[in-house]
Amino acid sequence: MKQLPFTIQKIIFGPDSRANIVEMDDVSGVEGQVPGYFVMSSAPPNIEEASEASEVNQRRAALGINSIASYLHRMMAADPDHRAELVITVHGYNTSRDGVETWYKNIFNYLNRHDAAIAAHPSQVFIGYRWPSENVALRNPKKIIEAFQALPPLPRDLLMTGGLCAIVLLVFELLAFGESIWGFMLSLFLTLLFVLGTLMLALVVLRLVVYFRDSYRADNFGVLDLVELLRQIDQAIVKLTAEEMFPNSAGGDKYLYAMGQARDYWGRRSQHKVRLSFIGHSMGGFVVTNVVRILSDVFDTDSVDKRPDNNIGDVFCLGRLILASPDIPVLTIISSRANFLASSLRRFSESYLFSSEGDIALRTASTTANYIAFPSKTQARGYRLGNVALQNKQGDIGDYGLINLRSLDRDFSPSLPIGEAIAQTNNSVMENLFLTYQRFQKRGVVTLADLFQNQSARKSDRATVADFFTYFDCTDYIDVKYDPSTDIQSEQPTGILTRALGHATLKPWDYALLTLDYALGKRDVHGGYFEGQFSQVLMYRLAFLGFEGYLHSLNDDTQVALSQLHLTCQEKQIQGFLSPVCYRVCIQGGSLEGTKAELFKAIESNS
């Protein structure tokens, strides 16, 4: 049997009615109406700790693959529209196993017990995926010792010499030895060694911050192991189809023939495949987008012609992509040679970005680390997609809600090709998205349109990859905090990701206060989306129901439901920018395939 690079457990409700993670062969507890699984890459935090997976874990992983595939296969047969969906959530940087398990159990709780709209659509399976991340270790003595022991000889010697020089310099100061010329020269030499030692200490600190280590593990273990998980599920569903079509085809040429016929069958089901959707938080967004890059067939004709469809493997088609504070380059949503993720992002039928101008975790840790690794010569391009915000505020209620709703109603006639409508509207998404990165810049911000014009000779008011996304800027988001595991909410609404002061742009003092809040645990500036009551409803319904399904959960009339969403975003102080694709398909009744084809054509004409 093939060595599977992950373990699989199931999420169930235990005797105490709480969500628990148990082994696949554990028959206790009650499964949810939306089945849940916890999949963990078996790659260790350090390569020295790698070991062969036990036969028991391999058997349980195989049981998990078959269980997930069986659920999806049965759902396809039972659903009147032959639909089944697999939704995978991927965590971010600096996340312990305990933290991940708590989050995924909360999602399982929410789906099955606190959202009737999602529970009413039982043709879905939830997977919480963990890649081998580790916590920042600045306060962990064991990790600090390991970091010093792992230093190569030359940096280690420089560090020790620098520390010794610091002591000698202190003695010189106390003895006033530096008053002579020779004392001065010796002090200068010792200072140089001290500076070199300090630089070596900075290397140790960078290791303890674990950003580069997490990035390596996400890229080389997290991505590839998730690819293998999906490949195994795909293969298992094809096998179940083959057994259903040819019951007596076990082994030999009959088996190969049955598998070939099953693949042909799935190839003909272009409109009825298993929909694959993702929620990616922080570095999890990097994992998700790179998984899609690998799964996409580079020799596919549509991909070569830059009009890729959403089919993945034999049985999957890409559904919805939810990115929350994604730790990926801001140029990801700009069409240019530097955008290596564009081909994967535009394969999804719906894409959403939740961001916050006040996300200091991305603004400091990620951006500082990528200053070393990311090939950019300007400050702005080093920022991450999770730091973008929407238009400057004017100080009234009109600042919030779906800020492009009027222009969509006014400029996007159903008879007008979507590319032409985007070019004609005076409310371009690229002009509305901005970064606060230079205090002396005009208005203190740089828009993505500015970056686009510097990056490309094409016009920024024309269709781009950015038009596939719907944006939710949660900088000033105010709400109560809600815990699905206990069904308890906080008494008073508060700023979820920032202090929600309504400033046009955040100033250095605001970032200093947010850093203090984050350090004291007053608010989670990086992951607060999963604590607010409304943001959880919005995010999980978009992931499991899609935009149209979310609107129908509010009102049968999509126009009325869209107005309700707009008003709720105003009340919660969220700025939204609705994708023209979502508006054309869900509000105006346009074809998704036709609308995407029009947008691809418009993007190509602008290239």
CA distance 12 to 31: 5
pLDDT in tens, 345-361: 778 999 999 999 999 88
pLDDT in tens, 99-125: 999 999 999 999 999 999 998 888 999
List the structure tokens of 281: 């938080």
Q: What mean pLDDT, rounded, does the chain reach? A: 86
Residue 158 — very low, low, confident or very high, per pLDDT cuts 50/70/90? confident
CA distance 469 to 355: 12
Residue 128 — very low, low, confident or very high, per pLDDT cuts 50/70/90? very high
Q: What is the pLDDT of residue 162?
A: 72
Angle at alpha carbon of residue 201, lines to 197 and 203, rounded to 5°: 120
Greatest extent of the chain over all pairs of C-alpha atoms, in Å:
96
Q: Whose CA is closest to 489, among 527, 543, 525, 537?
A: 537
DSSP state of 152: -
- List CB contacts of 148: < 8 A, sequence separation 6 or more: 156, 159, 204
Average pLDDT value for residue range 281-285: 95
Q: What is the pLDDT of residue 297?
A: 60
List the structure tokens of 388: 């973008």
CA distance 607 to 596: 17
CA distances from 385 to 359, 380, 425, 439 (A): 11, 11, 24, 20
CA distances from 596 to 9, 452, 525, 579, 580 (A): 38, 22, 34, 12, 10
Indicate the SS3 state at residue 258. Answer: helix
CA distance 502 to 142: 43
Q: Are strands 84-90 and 274-281 parallel, antiparallel or unpaired?
A: parallel
| C-beta atoms surrounding 436 within 10 Å | 25
List the structure tokens of 430: 């690229």
- Domain spans of the chain, in order of start: 6-133+211-299+310-323, 141-209, 329-605
Please report, as a single letter, which amino acid is at residue 208: L
The answer to whether 402 and 577 have CB atoms below 8 angstroms apart is: yes
Residue 300 has pLDDT above 80, yes or no: no
Average pLDDT value for residue range 577-586: 96
- List CB contacts of 567: < 8 A, sequence separation 6 or more: 401
Average pLDDT value for residue range 353-377: 81
List the structure tokens of 336: 């240019």
